[in-house]
Amino acid sequence: MARSCFGLLGLIAMLITGSVAQTKTPRQIAQEAFPSVVLLVMQDRNGQPVSFGSGFVVAQSSGKSLVATNNHVIAGATSGYCKPVGKNTTYPIAGIVATDTTHDLAILAITGLKAPPLAVGSGAEVAVGDPVYAIGNPEGLEGTFSQGIVSGLRRIDSGTILQITAPISPGSSGGPILDSRGVVIGVALATLKEGQNLNLAEPSSYLMDLDARAAAQTSATLRFDPSDIDSSGNRKNPAPAAVAPPSAPPAPKAERIPGDFFADNPAAPASIAELRSAADCGDASAQIALGRAYLFGEGVRKDHTEAFRWYTKAAEQGHVFAESMLGTFYYSGDGVARDSVAALRWWRKAAALGDSFAEQSIGVAYAEGAGVSKDLVAAVNWYRKSAEHGNAFGQLKLGAAYQFGDGVPKDYSEAAKWYRMAAEQGNAMAQRLLASLYYDGRGVSQDFVEAAKWYREAADQDDDYSSGRLGYMYAMGTGVTQDYSESLKWYRKAAEHGQTMGLVGVGQLYYLGAGVPQDFVEAAKWYRKAAEAGDEIAQVKLGLLLTD
């Protein structure tokens, strides 16, 4: 039964070249894929949620939908349900069809769900630079669609892993990674949060391989068996894993990438103990996870010195992410004495393996003359490497270099190009700077509507300056319909964090009685706050108001 179920995946792959080979627009890909993506909610024996993630339909069998996800999404659960993106109906998980713990994959059987399967490709033609799209439910926000590129094909002990720039967040685990044809080429696995846009996915080839290996299992539907639950409400034994193939021989300095245990599941003391045991035995993945736990205080007392120690152990094994993190520790002097020379040494090691965050970090060092002679041209060269590898921070810094003529001739068009790339990845500073270019008509045609759009994107990420600018645009009716209530809302959001444009704006609305009852006392209060922060306009307005 298992073989017949998964044989559908092979048939889908054979049909890809004929039926879906044509490149599609992002909108088409999203519209066609969303109906097949689900939010997975896993529960303990008391019905309480213990984790959530994403999944997608890969086949239909015996009246059930077969949904692919990550194995760690279902780990420790005793039951669960799925909810199609954008719908209010839920469907119970009938059981676990197959798992591959080596590559963190699982196939679930869902009762009653009727959804079209996504085409799953072999991924044989995937190359660095190819566009990719991720669909998932980050932080439980259903149906999030993000765009990026394949930024690396990394060798690890168990084979290959995809590094992508399409953002992945907690709750995205198990979602599909699609190519420009809308074909699944990977399964979202993890994001290394402190790695700045280091997002990982398991290649779809391992999902295809599950077809043959699933035949080793005695039953195609392995239910959550109540007799298999321990006193804590967790499964005593996970579902039988598919027989794993021999590990591929590691390439020189092969990376071992940790899963997103801490991204999706806050660490519990037992988990910390297990990590420490593995880390003490030299497991680089566990060392990084333990370092992260100490860095953010997840399951242990926050201790950046201890975090530095564990990242060092992983870096000394040639782990690129740990090498990049060590550079950051040394550069900031966080957890270790500040040493810009040591920071550069570790960043160069990581950059040699293609780490885009390390590349832009080296650019910053050259721009600031930290650990190396100041050289703006060299800084731009490193920013460009990072930007071309899809790193949003590298794109932001390259855009800024063009805007201000630092290391390159000033070129607002180039600045707008790189800002846009970073902005579309969700970088708030890039969104703000792109908005300002549209507002002023530099490098792009002046467009107040587009300016308002990007200011809003940044303001929604709590960029206080953008909130203040959006408040001003609503007050003036520039690029948006004049609306004093909206103006007050955005001014207040900026003012709550002490942003002087927001403070002055709230004061001005009270002074004019626009969107609020006129109130000179309240106006003076807000002007005074801005004046005390050194805002000269507020000082003048407050003086005039008190004089009157």
Q: Which one has a higher pLDDT value, 96 or 374?
A: 374
Q: Could you tell me the residue ranges of all domains in the chain?
A: 2-228, 462-547
What's the predicted TM-score (pTM) here? 0.55
Q: Are 200 and 164 in contact (CB under 8 A)?
A: yes
89-118 pLDDT per residue, tens: 778 788 888 888 888 899 988 888 889 999
Segment 438-460, tens digit of pLDDT: 999 999 999 999 999 999 999 99
Residue 47 has pLDDT above 70, yes or no: no
Q: Tell me: pLDDT of 17 over 50.
A: no
47 DSSP 8-state letter: S
Q: Which pLDDT band holds residue 88 (cuts at 50, 70, 90)? A: low
- Which of 187-191, 496-500, 515-519 shows the lowest mean pLDDT across its residues? 187-191
**Average of pLDDT values for 222-250?**
36
The pLDDT value recorded for residue 548 is: 65
Give the number of other Cβ atoms within 10 Å of residue 383's Cβ. Answer: 32
Mean pLDDT of the chain: 81
pLDDT at position 253: 29
pLDDT band at 23 (very low <50, low <70, confident <90, very high): confident
With a cut of 50, say whether residue 169 has pLDDT above it. Answer: yes
With helix as H, strand as E and coil as C, how does 360-408 read? HHHHHHHHHCCCCCCCHHHHHHHHHHHHHCCCHHHHHHHHHHHHHCCCC
Rounded mean pLDDT of 510-534? 92
Residue type, 380: V
Chain segment 244-272, per-residue pLDDT in tens: 333 333 332 222 223 333 333 333 333 68
pLDDT reading at 489 higher than 80: yes
Specify the CATH class of 2-228 in words.
Answer: mainly beta
How far apart CA 488 and CA 476 sit, in angstroms, is 12
- pLDDT recorded at residue 372: 95
Q: What percent of the chain has pLDDT over 70?
A: 80
State the greatest distance between any 2 C-alpha atoms of the chain, in Å, as a whole number. 88
Q: Can you tell me the mean pLDDT for 297-317? A: 92
* CA triple 186-191-193, angle to 5 deg: 165
Burial of 19 (0-12, 13-18, 19+ CB in 10 A): exposed
Task: Give the mean pLDDT of 212-218.
Answer: 44
- CATH superfamily name and code, 462-547: Tetratricopeptide repeat domain (1.25.40.10)
Whole-number pLDDT of residue 264:
36
Give the integer Cα–Cα distance in Å for 12 and 182. 13
| Average pLDDT over every residue of 218-238 | 38
